[in-house]
Amino acid sequence: MFDKMDVIYEKGILMMHELKDILSRPLKDLRISVTDQCNFRCNYCMPKEIFDKDYPFLKKDELLSFDEMTRLASLFVTLGVRKIRITGGEPLLRKNLHQLIKQLSNLSSELDIALTTNGVFLPQTAKLLKEAGLKRVNISLDALDDQVFKKMNGRQIEVKKVLNGIATAKKENLEVKINMVVQKGVNDDQILKMAHYFKDRNITLRFIEFMDVGNTNGWKLSQVVPSREIYQLIHNQIPLEPLNSNYFGEVADRYRYKGTNVEVGFISSVTSPFCHSCTRARISADGTLYTCLFSCSGVSLKKWLRSNYSDEYILEEMRKIWQKRHDRYSEMRSKFNSSKQKKIEMSYIGG
């Protein structure tokens, strides 16, 4: 078991001395997927040809309960986690999600709790989520043109549904960032439209390179639009200036439009990997712990939770898992045959 001398208090939170993996990366961020289902069928995440009506989604009793998620989150806080992001699938498909947010908020006032969503259900839920303690939302939107967006989301959902969600989140004083996954020949003609639109509304937009998460999205390097090209396209029309990182492990290269405080970010997991500073652990909707977005396997925490193992035992096992962590998939991508690796799907592990 861990040495009690290794346990300290930081701002009133019981925690261990900074936990690091083999590559000296600390554990700071936890992503919890609350469902593997989604109302969209985006081709880079849940292509409709695969995730159809016969797809075997997780059953209710296979999902972690809110109490189980909160118990695990409290242990991760002890290990050093200070940021928790709720993901999916589409997390707002999980009923009464605000109750989980409230439980997590009660763990510590120091926790930064965020949510990644497609935004469609925010008009009905944003107020409850804010009151429960949610601080930030990242909203996925890949195009402003309806035809492009409908094709990408696979469900003919109109852009205005997401824009209404964004407006509601802003009204409830949630911090909002927009995530755009860019695919060459699919939505790269939307880059400048998105940049102008969200600059004018003082909302941070982040461009994400199309990644080879899972095995079903048909990823090809030729479909990746490098962040440097996106940057140059925007900079030629709306000059940008660099900003410093806010913290170690920040995934986006930050800029702002000159003469403004409006930010734009670039997440370059393919062309400029940031494995060396990755501080994130992920729990899938069925309670499996993964130490990389591109993992092929994980460790079931649900098994320990439902077999009445003590917190001390689970804490020690999680500590050992992180200390043995050596994942560097994005930095080593060229040495892997991605098509032959059975990686975890994005909808199962969260982004």
Instruction: Check residue 331 and give its pLDDT.
Output: 77
Q: Which domain holds residue 170?
A: 4-349
Mean of pLDDT values over 331-342: 66
**Residue 138 DSSP SS3:** strand
User: pLDDT tens digit string along 247-290?
Assistant: 888 899 999 999 999 999 999 999 998 899 999 999 999 999 99
Instruction: Check residue 343 and give its pLDDT.
Output: 73
User: pLDDT tens digit string along 135-145?
Assistant: 999 999 999 99
Give the domain CATH number at 293. Answer: 3.20.20.70
pTM beyond cutoff 0.85: yes
Instruction: Check residue 237 and give its pLDDT.
Output: 97
Instruction: Check residue 105 and give its pLDDT.
Output: 97
Q: Which residue has the higher pLDDT, 93 or 348?
A: 93
Q: How confident is the model at residue 129 (pLDDT cuts 50, 70, 90)?
A: very high
- The Cα 89–Cα 350 span in angstroms is 7
Q: How confident is the model at residue 15 (pLDDT cuts 50, 70, 90)?
A: low
Mean of pLDDT values over 67-96: 97
DSSP for 189-202, written as a single string: GGHHHHHHHHHHTT
Q: Which residue has the higher pLDDT, 17 or 321?
A: 321
DSSP for 284-299, written as a single string: -TTSEEESSTT-S--E
Instruction: Check residue 73 and give its pLDDT.
Output: 98
Instruction: For the chain, give the percent of residues with pLDDT over 70.
Output: 93
- Say if residues 29 and 279 touch (Cβ distance below 8 Å): yes
Instruction: For the chain, give the percent of residues with pLDDT over 90.
Output: 79
Instruction: Check residue 342 and give its pLDDT.
Output: 74
- The Cα 174–Cα 134 span in angstroms is 8
Mean of pLDDT values over 86-115: 97
When the pLDDT of each residue in the chain is averaged and rounded to a whole number, the result is 92
Instruction: Check residue 5 and give its pLDDT.
Output: 36
- The Cα 146–Cα 221 span in angstroms is 26
Instruction: Check residue 211 and give its pLDDT.
Output: 86
- State the amino acid at position 346 in one-letter form: M
Instruction: Check residue 84 and give its pLDDT.
Output: 98
How many domains, the chain?
1
Which of 94-103, 317-326, 327-336 is predicted with the least confidence, judged by mean pLDDT? 327-336
User: pLDDT tens digit string along 43-78?
Assistant: 888 989 999 999 999 999 999 999 999 999 999 999
Q: How confident is the model at residue 4 (pLDDT cuts 50, 70, 90)?
A: very low
First vs last C-alpha separation in the chain: 32
